[in-house]
Chains A and B, each alone.
Chain A
Amino acid sequence: SAVISQKPSRDICQRGTSLTIQCQVDSQVTMMFWYRQQPGQSLTLIATANQGSEATYESGFVIDKFPISRPNLTFSTLTVSNMSPEDSSIYLCSVGTLRQGYQDTQYFGPGTRLTVL
């Protein structure tokens, strides 16, 4: 299994500011994902973080709002830009591995609880 850590674990931010969330995995993994869980809702995939290239965003999410970096196979960051109260959510990093072309496993991080005032 993969052990995932996220920083910060929680934060309270002012409207209009930006927050960068870090995700560190203890082993090299093929895939890294960022999810959002709004209050009372299921998880929603924001994007797949690609090593060395631009992330692949899901419908409804754009790079200007959620820039993502993935400089290597064990680390990624998600920035929530120009925050508004609607961005208050839990943001989760998730990793997966591939075997024979198919996704083999998926693990989730502890999450970052963001409150925007």
Chain B
Amino acid sequence: KNEVEQSPQNLTAQEGEFITINCSYSVGISALHWLQQHPGGGIVSLFMLSSGKKKHGRLIATINIQEKHSSLHITASHPRDSAVYICAVMNYGGSQGNLIFGKGTKLSVKP
């Protein structure tokens, strides 16, 4: 079993829909990242959080430390949101930079 599991693996949505991507992890963590990877390969850091909820524009990330679960929500989705969304955790006590990555959720938003 992977230490970081994401669901769904693939997601197709219509423009305007509300989207949720889930991430569950099995290790103790000091922080969790949500990353966005576009087809060219570049990665954008969306959120780094260790508790509660963060919001940036149409993106919202939540984390429940007790349940070892995080969600990334996209409101009013748009075709430009199409990308792979990756959850990564920093293992508590692990060496810095050595994140544990989920396999990613490929999102496609149709106009």
Q: Which A residues contact B (CB, under 8 angstroms)?
A: 1, 9, 31, 33, 37, 42-43, 45, 48, 58, 90, 92, 94, 96, 98, 102-103, 105-113
Contacts and interface: CB of A to CB of B under 8 A. Distances in A.
A95 to B, nearest CB: 9
A108 B45 contact: yes
Contacts of B95: 48
A90 B103 CA distance: 15
The main secondary structure of chain A at its interface with chain B is strand
Nearest to B101: A42
A37 B84 CA distance: 13
B45 A110 contact: no
A31 B99 CA distance: 14
A33 B88 CA distance: 15
Given A102-B30, A105-B48, A110 B97 contact: no
Interface of B: 30-31, 33, 35, 40-45, 48, 86, 88, 90, 95-99, 101-104
B45 to A, nearest CB: 5
B81 to A, nearest CB: 18
Given A9-B40, A43-B86, A106-B45, 19 more contacts: A31-B96, A31-B97, A42-B103, A42-B104, A43-B43, A43-B99, A45-B98, A48-B95, A48-B97, A58-B98, A90-B41, A96-B96, A105-B48, A106-B99, A108-B35, A108-B44, A110-B42, A110-B43, A112-B41
A45 B41 contact: no
21 contacts: A9-B40, A31-B97, A42-B86, A42-B101, A42-B103, A42-B104, A45-B97, A45-B99, A48-B96, A92-B41, A103-B90, A103-B96, A106-B45, A106-B90, A107-B45, A108-B35, A108-B45, A111-B41, A111-B43, A112-B41, A113-B41
